[in-house]
Chains A and B, each alone.
Chain A
C-alpha cells in the first residue's frame, strides 16, 4: 500500500471516529435513543430522565432507571448494546422519572455472590444492586407505620452517607459524589474517570430552568454550588471544547463551556432576584418585572417544574429562607 493511500485511509478513519457520536439517527416518536458518548459510556434517552450506561467485560452499570413502565424498552435497548446483565443501578435522586424503573430493572439484573452468602442468604444474588445517597432512601421509604410512597422493591439496596463513594467497575474508577441541597437533598453525580464522562442528574438540564425542589431540601445556593463543582471537575480538551462530557438529567450532552453557560445563567438570575428583593420588591412584582426574559425562550418550559414562574418562585423562596 502506498504511503499516501495509507495516510488517506487514516484520515478517513479518524474522521469517522470523531463523528461517531454524531451519526446516530434520532428516534421516532416514543422510541428510545442510544448514543455513544465517550469511552465505555452511552446515553439512553426517551425513557423519562436520561439513563447513562457504562458497560464492559465485567457487566453493566446504569445511572438512573427511567420512569416506571419503560423497563421493557430500556432492557431491549440495553440488549442491543451488550449481553451483559445490569449489576449496578445508581440513582442520582429519588425522582420518579429517574428512579421509577428501579424495581423492574433491578429484577432483570444480577449480583454475583459466593461462599456462605449464596448458601445462607438465598435471595442475595437476585437482582442488581441499587446505589444512592441515604437521603434518597429516606425520601422513598417512610417511618414505621406510615405508607411509603415507593414500593420497597424500588428502594436503594446500598446507601452511603459520605460525600464521595468510590468503586471500580469494568476497570474504570467510578465516583458517586453527593452534592447536598441542590435540586433536592439527595442529589448525586457520577464520574466515570477513565471515560471522562459525568452523569449530572437533574442538577443540570438543557431542556428547562433547573428544578429546585424546596420541599425536598433543594436550594438555589446548593444548585449554584453543584454547578460550580461540575465546572471545576470538567476539563476541556482544548479551546473550551471536548474533553470531559457532562450528561444532564434531561437533554443533550454538554462539554464544560456549556455547563459554564448554564452556571452563568443560574447565577445571573439569582443575582437579579436577590437585588430585586433587597430593593423591596414582592414575588409578584419580581415575576411581573420579567427578570429572566433573556433566558425564557430557551429555558422556560411550557409546563411542569421548569417553567419560568416555578424557577423564579423557587429562587425567591430559597433566598427568603437564607435571609
Chain B
C-alpha cells in the first residue's frame, strides 16, 4: 500500500507545472560528467570538414552562395577569433560536458537542467519550469533560450534566440531565425544526443544529426577555454575576407579527392537521401578543376 501511495504521489507531481516530471520520478537523471564518442562523423568532428563539402546537407541556394563566399581567413579577423560554436553545433566537437539539475532549495522542484561545456566555456540553462520564451526583441546568444520537458525517458528541448552560427564550420551558416529541437536519450552509461535544426533561411528541410557521450572518468582534464583576440593579419579597417561569386578556389577540392561530381559536393536536400546514390552513378565524376579556379 505504501508503494502504491508513493507511485500515486509521483504521478500527481508529474502533472503540475514545474513539478516532478515522469522522467525524474522514474529516477532518470542526466547529471554527471560526460565525454563524447567519435565513432560517428569522426573526420568532420575532429580534424574538421573539407572546404566546399556540403554533401548531405539540405541547404538552400542562398546558403550555398554564402558558403562559397566564405574565406577561412575570416577567422583571423579579431572579432571572429573567439566566435563560439553555437548550441546546435557545439556538442559535436571535442569537449567535456557536465550536466546537473537546478532545484528550488525549499520545494525541491526542478527548475532547470544545466549544461557546462568546457569548449568555449559555455553554461547553458534548459528551463524545466514551463516559463515562456522571451520577446522577439530580446538578445540572441550562442546557447539560445531553451525550454525542456520529459517525454517518457527522453528529455526534449526546444531552443530559440540563437545567434547566426555554423551549420558546418566550412562556411555554411544558419541564420538567427533558426530553431533547435533536441532529444537527450540515456541508455545506462550511454547518452545519445539528437539535434534537429530548422531554419527557413538556410535549410529547405530540417537537418538532423546525432552524437553520443559516455561517462567521463578521468580527472585533470582542462575545463577552461581562455580566448584573447589579437591582430594576426594587418588589414585595412573593416576588411572582411570573402570570395566573390564564382571565384572560390576550393570548389573542386573535395569533389576531386573523393571522385564525385561537384554538384554532389554542393549539397542540397536531394543529396541527403539514399536515392541520390543512384543518380550519382549517372553523373560523371568531377572533371579536373580549371586552372583559373585553383
Q: Which residues of A contact B (CB under 8 A)?
A: 4-5, 8-9, 11-12, 15, 19, 21-26, 33, 35, 43, 45, 224-225, 227-228, 231, 236, 238-242, 245, 251-258, 260-261, 263-264, 267-268, 271-272, 275, 289, 291, 293-298
Give, as a whole number of angstroms, the nearest-CB distance from B278 to chain A.
Answer: 30
Q: Is B179's CB within 8 Å of the partner chain A?
A: no
Given contacts A261-B164, A298-B175, A241 and B200 within 8 Å (CB-CB) = no
CB-based contact A260/B137 at 8 Å: no
Chain A interface secondary structure, helix, strand, loop or mixed?
A: helix
Instruction: Give the nearest-CB partner of B122 in chain A.
Output: A239
Residues of the B chain whose Cβ atoms lie less than 8 Å from the Cβ of A257: 79, 83, 163
Instruction: Give the nearest-CB partner of B84 in chain A.
Output: A239
CB-based contact A23/B79 at 8 Å: no
Q: Choose one: B120, B139, B201; the contact of A298 (CB below 8 Å).
A: B201
CB-based contact A260/B79 at 8 Å: yes
Give, as a whole number of angstroms, the nearest-CB distance from A149 to chain B.
Answer: 30
CB-based contact B104/A267 at 8 Å: no
Given contacts A5-B105, A22-B135, A35-B138, A263 and B238 within 8 Å (CB-CB) = yes
Q: What number of residue pairs across chains A and B have CB atoms under 8 A from each other?
A: 132
CB-based contact B105/A241 at 8 Å: no
A86 to B154, CA, bound (A): 53
Can you name 14 extra interface pairs (CB under 8 A) apart from A239-B225, A258-B140? Answer: A23-B134, A228-B238, A231-B238, A238-B82, A240-B84, A251-B137, A254-B139, A255-B139, A258-B164, A260-B80, A264-B242, A271-B240, A294-B62, A297-B201
A236 to B227, CA, bound (A): 12
Q: Is B156's CB within 8 Å of the partner chain A?
A: no
Residues of the B chain whose Cβ atoms lie less than 8 Å from the Cβ of A9: 105
CB-based contact A267/B238 at 8 Å: yes
A–B complex contacts, Cβ < 8 Å, 10 sampled: A21-B134, A22-B138, A26-B135, A35-B137, A231-B79, A239-B122, A252-B137, A268-B69, A271-B240, A289-B245
Q: Choose one: A239, A253, A294; the contact of B120 (CB below 8 Å).
A: A239
CB-based contact B177/A293 at 8 Å: no
Give, as a whole number of angstroms, the nearest-CB distance from B118 to chain A.
Answer: 12
Residues of the A chain whose Cβ atoms lie less than 8 Å from the Cβ of B125: 15, 19
CB-based contact A291/B141 at 8 Å: no
Q: Which 8 A-B pairs have the closest CB atoms?
A: A8-B105, A294-B66, A22-B134, A228-B238, A294-B65, A252-B137, A267-B240, A294-B62
Interface size class of B (residues with CB under 8 A): 35 or more
- Of the candidates B61, B62, B104, B111, the one having the most CB atoms from chain A within 10 angstroms of its own CB is B62
Q: Choose one: B62, B244, B245; the contact of A295 (CB below 8 Å).
A: B62
A224 to B238, CA, bound (A): 8
Residues of the A chain whose Cβ atoms lie less than 8 Å from the Cβ of B82: 236, 238-240
Given contacts A15-B112, A293-B61, A252 and B238 within 8 Å (CB-CB) = no
Q: Is B121's CB within 8 Å of the partner chain A?
A: yes
A211 to B136, CA, bound (A): 22
